[in-house]
Structure 1
Amino acid sequence: MVSPTSPDGLDKVTFQKLVASFGFQMTPQDEADYFALVKAIEDEVNEVEAMPAYVDPRLAPCVATPVSERTYSMLDRKDNPLNAWSHRFTLKDDKAVATGILAGRTVALKDTISVAGIPLTLGTHPYQLTTSPDVPYPVPTIDAPIVTRLVESGGVIVGMATCENFCMSGLSDTSATGPVDNPWLKGYAAGGSSSGSGVLTAVTAVKKWRQKRNCPVNEPELGEGVDLAIGGDQGGSIRLPAAFSGTYGLKPTHGLVPYTGIASLHPICDHAGPMASSVNDVALLLSAIAGYDGMDPRATPNTPLRSNVPAYHELLQAAISDKQDRGEWTPTAAGKGLRVGLLKEALDLPKLDPNVASVVRAAAAKFERLGATVVDVSVPLHSKGGAIWTAAMRGAMADVFLASKAPDLHAHTTTGVTPPKMTQAWYETMTKSSPMVVTAVLGSAYIGDSARFPHRYRNKAVSHIVQLRAAYDAVLADVDVLLLPVTPTVGPPHSITTAGEAGNMSVLELYATNLGVSDNTAPFNITGHPALAMPGGWAPAAVSEGLTAGGKLPVGVQIVGKHHDEVGVLLAASILEVAGLGLDEE
C-alpha cells in the first residue's frame, strides 16, 4: 500500500497542481477539506489494490485436463507451412468425446482466448504483454467459458491459431511470427485478424475441393488443419478470413457467445463465433458455445441462458426437413417464401472490385432461381458505418486492447496481461510489422483527449449506432436477410514479407492495404446483427512480382439477419447451396 509520504501518494503539492489544472481557487479551509476527501479516495483504492486477486470459480480450468498436465509446443516451419498455428496442445474429455455433440471434432482457438497453463500471445512479440523478462507471454490461470463449453461438448481442442498483431489487421501479414498464407495461393492474404482460424478450417476445405476434382493435394504445403475453429470479430475478423480463405464464419448476435476471458478490443464491438468448412458445422459449433455465462456485460435481456440455448444445428435441420417434406428442397423451390434484400450501398463502395460485385449479384440471381424473392434495398447510413465505428471507439480503444482496461460494466477481464511500454524500440518494431497498432495508439490519445474532443463527440457517435441499427431493422422488417459482399477484393498479395520487412513501402502505403477492407463488415459489429460469410465464387488474384500469375481466389458473400435469428441466416445460406456450393462455380 502506498504510504501518505510516498512520492507516489497524494501530497499537498500534487493536490495543489491538480486544483490549478482546473483553474479553481480555494480558501485554505476548502483546500484542506478537499485534500482530505481526495486522500480518502486514494486510501480506498490502495486498500482494494492490496487485496488478493479474485478469480471467479466459474472460470476454473477444466478438470478433464488438469493444468499440471497441460503442455504445449511450437511448430517448426516445415510442420506449420502456412504459419496458421501459434502453438499446439490438447484439451479433451474422453467421456464427452463419446457422448457430446461435437463428438471428437478438432478445434483451434484464436490466440486471444484464455486457456489455463497455455501462453497468450495476441499475435504480438515476446515481452510486450508481461513485465517479467523470464516470462515472454502471459500464462492465464483460467479457462474462458467458451473453452470449457467446447470440451464439455466433446470437442478436442488441438491448439492456438495465429492471429494478427494485437488483432489490428484485416489481412494476414502483421503477426509477430510472420505472414499467414492463403491456402489456395501462397503469398496472398488469408484475412484477419482471426487469420490462423480461417486458414486451419480452410485447409480441410482445400483438400476436399482438390480431392473431389482429382487434383493433387500437396500435404507439405498445407500442413494439418482442423474441423472447427473459434474466431473473434470486432470489425470483421471472423468474416474477413472466412471470405478470403473460402470457408464459413459467423459473427453471432452481439452477446450471444460469451466473451469472458477473451482479449477485448472494445465491449461495444467484441464478438466470438464459429468458423468451419460448412454451414452445418457452423450451426453445430454455435450450439456448443452460445448462451449467457453470468459474467459477460455484452449480453442483453434477449440473450438465452446456457440452459435455454437452442440447438441451432437441430433447428436448422428441422427447417430443411420441413421443406423436404413439402417437396421444396430442390434447385427451383428451396427458396420459396424467403425474402432477400440486396443492399445497394454495399455494392456502391468505391473500392469494390467488379468481379466481387459480380459474384454477389450472381448469388442474388441464384436465390431467385431457387424461388426466393430478391429485392434491392437501401440503407444510406451503411456508407457511414465505418466512420461511426471509428468515432464511437477510437478514443478509448487503445486503453482496452493495449492497456487491458476493464469494461465499465462488471466483467471478468483477461488476466495477467500488462500494457507494453511505449518505447522507441516498441515504436520501431510496430511500425515495421503493424502500423495499424501505432495508428490506434496515436489516434486514441488524440481523440480520447477530452480537452480537444469533449465526450459529446463520442456520445453523438453512439447515438448514430442506435440510428444505424434501427435503419437495418427497418429494412429487415420487410426482408428475411440482407445479401452483400464481405470484402472489396479477393485476398491481396502480402505487403510484409516472412522476414517482417515491408520493402520500400511507406507507413501510409502499408496502412492503405487495410483501408476499406472492413467497410461492409464493421457496421454490423456495432449494431450487433448476426452476419455470416460464406464462399460465393471466384475472382482473379492480383498479379504481383514473384507470385503466380493467372490464379484465382475465393470471393465471400455475406448474409445478415435479424437479431437472434441465427437459424434464419444459416437456413438462407443452406438454401443458396442447394443450387451448388460457391466454390463449385469455377
Structure 2
Amino acid sequence: MAPSTPENGLDKAAFKDLVATFGFQMTPQDEADYFALVKGMEDEVHEVETLPAYIDPRLVPSVATPVSARTYSVPDKSDNPLNAWSHRFTLKDDAAVATGILAGRTVALKDNISVAGIPLTLGTHPYQLSTSPDMPYPVPSIDAPIVTRLVESGGVILGTSTCENYCMSGLSDTSATGPVENPWLKGYAAGGSSSGSGALLAISAVKKWHQKRSLPLDEGQLAEGVDLAIGCDQGGSIRFPVAYSGVYGLKPTHGLVPYTGIGSLHPICDYAGPMATSISDVALLLSAIAGYDGIDPRATPETPLRKNVPAYHTLLEAAIAEKQASGGWTPTTAGKGLRVGLLKEGLALPKLDPNVAAVVRAAAAKFERLGATVVDVSAPLHSKGGAIWTATMRGAAADVFLASKAPDLPAFTTTEVAAPALTQEWFDIMTKSSPMVVTAALGSAYMSDTARFPHRYRSKAMAHLAQLRAAYDAILADVDVLLLPVTPSVGPPHTIKAAGETGNVSALAMYELNLGVSDNTAPFNVTGHPALAMPGGWAPAATSEGSGESKKLPVGIQLVGKHHDEVGVLLAASIWEVAGLGLDEE
C-alpha cells in the first residue's frame, strides 16, 4: 500500500500533537510503534478511497426509462403557481402501467429522493450540495429502491416536488425557490418538509370540493397535480403537509419502507411513506413501496422481505367487505368492536388552538356514534417526546443531513452529495432562508463534544426512548388506535413571503414557528409506531396582514397504531369516514 506523505497525511509532528491531546507520556519505542499503527490505519483508508466507485446492483437505474433518455425541466412559474414542482420529467414502464397495481397513476417524489439523471436539491441553494463546479446540484447515478418499485408497480412519476431547505421545516416557506402555497388559501403554509408533495395532491381535492358545492374556483392558480405522492418524515414531514392541505399521509412503522437513496436526517427517525387523496390510495401506494430492500439498516426482524409484503389495499378491502357482509358498515354500526384511545397529553399542548382541539374531540364523538368505544388514555412521557427526539440524535444530525454521514450499520449512502462549506456566506444565506439549519449545525457541533456531553447522555436518552415506546405499547394493548391532533393549528400565514426574505422575523421566532409544531408527531418518529394523518374538519385561518374576512383551512387528525398494524390504522380511518368525510364537516 502506498504510504502517506507529510503533506497529505500523518507525520511524526502531527502524531506528537495527537498524543498530547490525550496527555499520554510515551517511551520512544511506544511512540514509534503507535505512530506506525495509526499511520497504517490512515493508509488503509486512503487505499479504499482510491478504489473505483461502486453501485449496488439493486440500485442500478430502471431500464424502463434509461438514464440517457431522462430529460427534465424546471417548470415555469405560470405552470407551477403553487411552487410545488421542483423538476419535471416522466419515468414509467409501459408494460407495468398496463399490468401493475398502480395502473398508470401519476406520482410526485419529494426532492430528497435519488433519481438517476435528475438533479437532487434537498430544497436548498445551488452549489451547496454539488461536488462539481459545473453542476448547480448533484445528479444521482442511482434510483432509490422506492423509485424502482413505483415504476415496476405501474406508476407514472411526473417529477420531484419542492421540499423545505434541507428538509428542516414543518411549514412551507424555507425552500430556496420560495414558499409553497396552500392550495386552499394562497399565502398560507402548505406544511413541510414534504411541502410540494402535499400541495400537488391537494389540487384535485380542492377542485372536487369546489365542484361538489358548485363554488367558483380559478383553476389556473392550481395547475397540474398528481394522484399519489411520496413524502419523507423525520418529525412530522408527511403528516404536516397532509394535515395543512386536507389530504392523507402515513408514516409507516420504522423500517417498513426502505430509506436507501434518500436524504437523511438521522436513521433513528427517517421514514418514507405514501401520501394520497384517499385512505384506499394510501393503502395501495404502501403495497407498492413496502418491504426490506436488503440494504437499509432501519429494517427490523419484523420488516417483511419484498416478496412477502402484504397487499395492504387488498387486506383493507377484505376487512371492509367482511363488515359489509354482516351489515356492520353503516353510520351507526361500522365502529363496533373498535377501541379508540383519546390521548390526554396530545390535547394538552400549550399552544393548541381550541378550534383544533374541538375538531379532535368531535372526531372522538363521531367514532362513538359509529359504535366504537372511545376511552381517555394517558402517556405522561408523551410531553417529553420532543426532548427525547432531540437527545437521541441531535449530536450527530448535522453530520448526517449536511455531510451525508453513512449509518454506522452497513448501508449504501451516495457519495455524490457534498457537504456545504459552513462559511459566513453560507450562514448569511441560511439565516435568511432557514435558521433551523444553522441551529442544527451549531447544536450538533456543541452536543457532539463528548467533554461536555459524554456518551452516557445519549445512552440515557435511548433508555427513555424505550420507556416512551413501552408507554404507547401498553396503551395500544388495550385500544386499537390512539387519536390526537397532528398540528397545534391550521396552516399559518407565510413568514417568508419570497425566497430568502424573512422581513423582521428573528431566527428564534422562525425556529419556533417551523419546528414548534411537532410535539404530537416527533415522538412517534423515535418510537417507530405507524401514524396516519387525515382530514378531520375545518378551523378559522389566522388573519394575515392586510387581509379582510377570516377564512377556514383544513384540520388534520392523527391515528397511531401498533407496530406493523398499518391495516388496523387504515381500517379505523375508513370506519370513521363511513359517517362522512372530514372536509364535509363544515
Q: TM-score range by the shorter chain?
A: over 0.9
| Residues 291-310 of structure 1 mapped to structure 2, 5 A cutoff | 291-310=291-310
- Give the letter for the 1:393 counterpart: M
Partner of 1:265: 265
Aligned twin of 1:167? 167
Once the two structures are superposed, what CA deviation does each residue of 1:262-305 show, in whole Å capped at 9, x if it has no partner? Answer: 01110000000000000000000000000000000000000000
Q: Which residue of 1 aligns with 2:108?
A: 108
- The corresponding residue for 1:528 is 528
For 1:184, the equivalent position in structure 2 comes to 184
- Residues 73-472 of structure 1 aligned to structure 2 (within 5 Å): 73-472=73-472
Structure 1: tracts of 5 or more residues without a match: none
Q: Note if contact 1:263-1:414 (Cα within 8 Å) is conserved in structure 2.
A: no
Query: In the alignment, does 2:496 pair up with 1:496?
Result: yes
1:17 aligned to 2:28? no
SS in structure 1 at match of 2:255 = coil
Task: Provide the residue aligned with 1:545 in structure 2.
Answer: 545
Aligned 8 A contact 1:2 1:8 in 2: no
- 2-side partners of 1:510 and 1:182: how far apart? 19
Cα-to-partner distance string for 1:20-40 (whole Å, 9 max, x where unaligned): 000111011110110011011
For residues 132-185 of structure 1, give each alpha carbon's deviation from its aligned partner in whole angstroms, at most 9, with x where no partner exists.
Answer: 221000000000000000000000000000000000000000000000010000
1:8 Cα deviation from its structure 2 partner: 2.1
Deviates more, 1:103-112 or 1:409-418: 409-418
Partner of 1:381, secondary structure, is helix
User: Is the Cα contact below 8 Å between 1:435 and 1:511 reproduced in 2?
Assistant: yes
Q: What secondary structure is seen at the aligned counterpart in 1 of 2:181?
A: coil
For 1:4, the equivalent position in structure 2 comes to: 4
Q: Is the 8 A contact 1:141 1:415 kept in 2?
A: no
**1:562 — aligned with what?**
562
Partners of 1:74 and 1:220 in 2: how far apart? 18
Distance in 2 (CA, whole Å) between partners of 1:149 and 1:75 is: 26
Q: CA deviation at 1:513?
A: 1.0
CA distance in 1, matches of 2:10, 2:393: 32
- Asked whether the 8 Å contact 2:533–2:559 carries over to 1, the reply is yes
Conserved? CA contact 1:492–1:542, under 8 Å: yes
Aligned 8 A contact 2:72 2:88 in 1:
yes
**Runs of 5+ in structure 2 lacking a partner?**
none
Aligned to 2:478: 478
Q: Aligned partner of 1:471: which letter?
A: A
**What is the CA-CA distance between 1:546 and the residue it aligns to?**
3.2
SS in 1 for 2:483: strand
Give the drift of 1:81: 0.4
Cα pair 1:2 1:9 within 8 Å, conserved: no
Partners of 2:69 and 2:499 lie apart in 1 by: 35
| CA distance in 2: counterparts of 1:507 and 1:12, whole angstroms | 45
2:576 maps to 1:576: yes
* Equivalence for 1:506: 506
Instruction: Output the CA distance in 2 between the equivalents of 1:508 and 1:60.
Output: 43
State the alpha-carbon separation in 1 of the partners of residues 236 and 5 from structure 2. Answer: 50
* Alpha-carbon separation, structure 2, partners of 1:529 and 1:46: 41
1:220, CA displacement in angstroms?
Answer: 1.0
Residues 579 and 293 (structure 1), Cα distance of their counterparts in 2 relative to 1, 3 Å cut: same
Structure 1 residue 532: Cα displacement = 0.1
Q: SS of the counterpart of 2:224? A: coil
1:330-388 Cα shifts (integer Å, max 9, x gaps): 00000000000000001011011100000000000000000000000000000000000
Distance 2:67 2:519 in 1: 41
Could you tell me whether the CA contact under 8 Å between 2:131 and 2:417 is conserved in 1? Answer: no
Deviations 1:297-334 (A, max 9, x none): 00000000000000000000000000000101000000
Number of aligned residues: 586
Q: Secondary structure at the match of 2:410?
A: coil
CA distance in 2, matches of 1:502, 1:548: 23
Deviation for aligned residue 1:569: 0.2
The answer to whether the 8 A contact 1:404-1:419 is kept is yes
Residue 7 of structure 1: CA displacement? Answer: 1.7
- RMSD of Structure 2 on Structure 1 (CA): 0.9
Give, in angstroms, the shift of residue 550 of structure 1. 1.0
- Tell me which amino acid in the other structure corresponds to 1:142: I
Q: CA deviation at 1:502?
A: 1.1
1:516 Cα offset (Å):
2.5
Q: Does the 8 Å contact 1:187/1:547 carry over to 2?
A: no
Asked if the contact 1:140/1:415 (under 8 Å) is kept, the reply is no
Q: Quick one: distance in 1 between partners of 2:549 and 2:390?
A: 36
**Distance in structure 2 (CA, Å) of the matches to 1:563 and 1:512:** 30
Check the 8 A contact 1:351/1:516 in 2, yes or no: no
AA matched with 2:510: L
SS in 1 for 2:198: helix
Equivalents in 2 of 1:240, 1:547: separation in Å?
24
Q: Percent identity?
A: 80
CA drift of 1:564 comes to 0.2
In 1, distance between residues paired with 2:104 and 2:547? 38
Amino acid at match of 1:118: I
Counterpart amino acid of residue 563 in structure 1: H
For 1:40 and 1:248, the matched residues in 2 are separated by 54
Contact 1:257–1:271 (Cα < 8 Å) also in 2: yes
Deviation at 1:463, TM superposition (A): 1.1
Q: Contact (CA 8 Å) 1:258, 1:292: kept in 2 or not?
A: yes
Q: What CA deviation, in whole Å up to 9, does each residue of 1:393-436 have, x standing for no partner? A: 11000000000000000001134001000111100000000000
Q: Which runs of 4+ in 1 moved over 6 A?
A: none
C-alpha deviation, 1:3, in angstroms: 4.7
What SS class does the counterpart of residue 555 from structure 2 fall into? Answer: strand
